[in-house]
């Protein structure tokens, strides 16, 4: 009986080492099932070349908005501007209090509204992290084809 058990355990070890789940066989580990993303077809274990950073000019003329609800693009560099729990660099120029003195555009009244439409006396939490919606202006090619045309009144 003891011999039989030993034999079974030994057979198990042989079987496991023949096709281990942690195999380094690249085919087994890396196949992403043919999933294709905007970056093309990349296997998970392949090192993906990162996109080169876009050059953001220090100051430039604002690019017009394409539609009324579009968050305006940021016409200046934002390198080193912190937005976190303790500080919001953007509001040091764009808040209602500071905008006049800093010569910056005031955040719009929509930025004081909560999700259920209550107007607060300060920026609503859902508008606190400015870069969720506003991005710097850069010469970036569209990732997908787009034939959007603004309405006549905005052209
Ligand atoms: C040192 C002051 C200053 C800081 C800090 C600053 N801005 Fe600005 N921003 C300006 C000024 C001044 C303008 C308008 C002048 C111009 O066209 O460059 C402007 C323009 C903008 C505009 C365009 C507004 C429009 O109606 O076209 C956006 C959007 C904007 N900033 C977002 C941001 C965000 C987001 C941050 C933080 C990451 C930020 N800004 C930090 C001074 C600042
Ligand atoms: C959830 C998305 C969102 C967030 C977060 C957000 N904005 Fe906006 N912002 C918009 C949209 C959309 C508009 C244009 C329509 C409007 O005025 O509401 C806008 C407009 C603006 C304008 C132009 C106002 C005007 O009267 O022309 C400024 C300046 C601005 N935002 C700054 C900021 C700053 C600074 C922050 C962070 C404190 C911020 N935004 C956070 C979406 C956002």
Of 149, 142, 77, nearest in space to 90 by CA: 77
Residue-level pLDDT at 120: 97
- Global pTM reads 0.81
Looking at ligand 1, which residue's alpha carbon is closest to its atom 13?
104
CB within 8 Å of 63: residues ≥ 6 apart:
73, 75, 137
- Measured from the Cβ of residue 42, the count of other Cβ atoms closer than 10 Å reads 15
Ligand 1 site, residue 63, Cβ cutoff 6 A: no
- Measured from the Cβ of residue 19, the count of other Cβ atoms closer than 10 Å reads 9
Ligand 1 site, residue 75, Cβ cutoff 6 A: yes
Ligand 2 site, residue 74, Cβ cutoff 6 A: no
C-alpha to C-alpha distance for 22 and 15, rounded to whole angstroms: 14
48-63 pLDDT, tens digit per residue, is 778 788 888 888 898 8
Residue-level pLDDT at 98: 96
C-alpha to C-alpha distance for 104 and 93, rounded to whole angstroms: 6
Nearest atom, ligand 2, residue 65 CA: 14
Share of the chain above pLDDT 70, in %: 81
Looking at ligand 2, which residue's alpha carbon is closest to its atom 42?
71
Q: Which domains does the chain have, with CATH numbers?
A: 60-140 (1.10.1130.10)
C-alpha to C-alpha distance for 150 and 139, rounded to whole angstroms: 20
Of 73, 68, 41, 40, nearest in space to 57 by CA: 73
Q: Is the sign of the CA dihedral 71, 133, 80, 39 positive or negative?
A: negative
- Determine which of 46-50, 122-126, 128-132 has the lowest per-residue pLDDT on average: 46-50
Looking at ligand 2, which residue's alpha carbon is closest to its atom 39?
130
Nearest atom, ligand 1, residue 89 CA: 5
CA dihedral 142, 127, 91, 139 (to 10 degrees): 0
Q: Is the pLDDT of residue 131 over 80?
A: yes
3-42 pLDDT, tens digit per residue, is 655 555 555 554 444 444 444 555 455 677 878 888 778 7
Ligand 1 site, residue 96, Cβ cutoff 6 A: no
Nearest atom, ligand 2, residue 93 CA: 35
Burial of 91 (0-12, 13-18, 19+ CB in 10 A): buried
Phi, psi (degrees; rounded to nearest 5) at 98: -100, -20
Average pLDDT taken over every residue of the chain: 83
106: left (phi over 0), alpha (psi -120 to 50) or beta: beta
* Mean pLDDT for the stretch of residues 124-140: 94
């Amino acid at each position: 009986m003891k011999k039989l058990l030993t034999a079974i355990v030994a057979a198990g070890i042989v079987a496991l080492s023949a096709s281990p789940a942690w195999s380094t066989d690249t085919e087994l580990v890396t196949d992403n099932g043919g999933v294709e993303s905007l970056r093309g077809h990349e296997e998970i274990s392949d090192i993906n070349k990162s996109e080169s950073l876009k050059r953001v000019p220090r100051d430039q003329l604002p690019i017009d908005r394409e539609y009324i609800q579009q968050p305006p693009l940021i016409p200046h560099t934002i390198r080193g501007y912190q937005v976190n729990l303790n500080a919001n660099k953007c509001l040091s120029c764009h808040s209602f209090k500071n905008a006049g003195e800093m010569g910056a555009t005031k955040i719009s009244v929509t930025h004081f509204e909560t999700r259920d439409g209550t107007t607060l006396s300060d920026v609503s939490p859902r508008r606190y992290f400015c870069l969720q919606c506003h991005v710097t202006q850069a010469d970036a090619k569209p990732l997908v084809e787009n034939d959007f045309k603004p309405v006549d009144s905005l052209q």
